[in-house]
Amino acid sequence: MEYVHYSVMKEEVKHYLVPPLDRPSVMVDCTTGEGGHTHMMLSEYPNLKVYGLDCDIHIQEKAKTRMKEFGDRFIPVHTWFNDYFDDYQGEKVDLVLFDLGISIFHYAESDRGFSFKKEEKLDMRLNDESTLTAAMVVNSYSEEDLANVIYKYGEERYSRRIAKAICERRTEKEIETSSDLEDIIFKSVPATYKHGRIHPATRSFQALRIEVNKELDRIEPALRGAVKALNPGGRIAVITFHSLEDRIVKWTFKDLAKKCTCPPEQLQCTCGGKAAIKILTKKPLVASDDENKMNPPSRSAKLRVIEKL
């Protein structure tokens, strides 16, 4: 069975990301996935060209097939989005989109251990060329480091208990599959926690995925690089799915929107600084009730939009 990812908040993205209509324009979709947002934008605007970035070559093949109808208006680029904007020398960009959610492809089709509901090797790499895997993390990190990863990136209250249980199990044999890890986590937490709103392995699996792919470390440099790449009046839209991502986006945008960069203890401004961006969404937008009913994962989505000055 082939699964299709549901691109969230498409109407809101379309509302805020409107390219110049009087000339050819350029958009960068930093997390193209299967191409739902990109397909919508290319269909809507005949003068638009999209550079579709993705670090996962396998899901990018799906996007390339889907975008064939648009010819050379879709340019796939196999890269991490922070690497793409590092010392960017390409043509000026009008629109940038980051959808930081993980595609259903990774849970349902990738066979890389993203889901604790399946028997798969513990990999969790979004890019095959990366060296660190989830199996390496759970089998080689110290108990303290493992607990810190689970707590920091999963906000898991039982991180210490889970890390202890993992380290005890791995002395018997190496932890190799997602179902093995799920079993360890499930047995390590209190009975009251086993039947809560979410499965007790959810936060730990999220934490491992973030650690393996260094996801949070990539966001701020990518946002700052994207702002530099924009034409004046160009816009960036970012969709996040958990508080760790959203916090980074929020404070990076706030910093870029500041006029003065002098130290707070300095009484008088001497930097002569100017704000780089204008924040268009004072509070993040959320998905509509109708969308949440149609696609429950949309409930955690938040959209922030800025415009370059």
Model confidence at 1, in pLDDT bands (50, 70, 90)? very low
- Residue 109, Cα to own-chain centre: how many angstroms? 18
User: Which among 279, 217, 228 has a CA at the least distance from the CA of 253?
Assistant: 279
H-run or E-run covering 29: strand 25-29
How far, in Å, CA of 149 to CA of 120, rounded? Answer: 22
Model confidence over 5-46: pLDDT tens digits? 678 999 999 999 999 999 999 999 999 999 999 999 999 999
Structure confidence at residue 265 (pLDDT): 81
Using CA atoms, how far residue 91 sits from 37, 73, 295, in Å, is 21, 14, 36
User: In this predicted structure, which of 73-87, 264-278, 281-295 has the lowest mean pLDDT?
Assistant: 264-278
pLDDT digits 0-9 by tens, 203-258: 999 999 999 999 999 999 999 999 999 999 999 999 999 999 999 999 999 999 99
Give the CATH number of domain 10-105+217-308: 3.40.50.150
The ranges assigned to domains in the chain are 10-105+217-308, 111-213
pLDDT category, 181, cuts 50, 70, 90?
very high
**Residues paired with 78 in a beta bridge:** 54
Which class in CATH covers the domain with range 111-213?
A: mainly alpha
The band of 259, judged by pLDDT with boundaries at 50, 70 and 90, is confident
Distance CA 286, CA 289 (A): 9
CA distance 243 to 112: 25
Strand-pairing partners, residue 74, are 50
Please report, in angstroms and rounded to a whole number, the separation of the first and last CA atoms in the chain: 47
Residue 4 has pLDDT above 70, yes or no: no
Q: Answer yes or no: is pLDDT of 87 > 50.
A: yes
On whether the CB atoms of residues 54 and 81 are closer than 8 A, the answer is no
**What average pLDDT does the structure give for the chain?**
94
**If you search the block for the tokens 């898991």, which residue do you land on?**
156
> pLDDT tens for residues 130-153?
999 999 999 999 999 999 999 999
Residue 298 DSSP class:
G
Cα gap 114→205, rounded to integer Å: 7
What is residue 269's predicted lDDT score, i.e. its pLDDT? Answer: 79
User: β-strands 230-240, 302-308: how paired?
Assistant: antiparallel
Sign of the torsion angle spanned by Cα atoms 298, 299, 300, 303: positive
β-pairing verdict for 302-308 and 285-286: antiparallel
CB 158 within 8 A of CB 188: yes
Write down the pLDDT at residue 107: 83
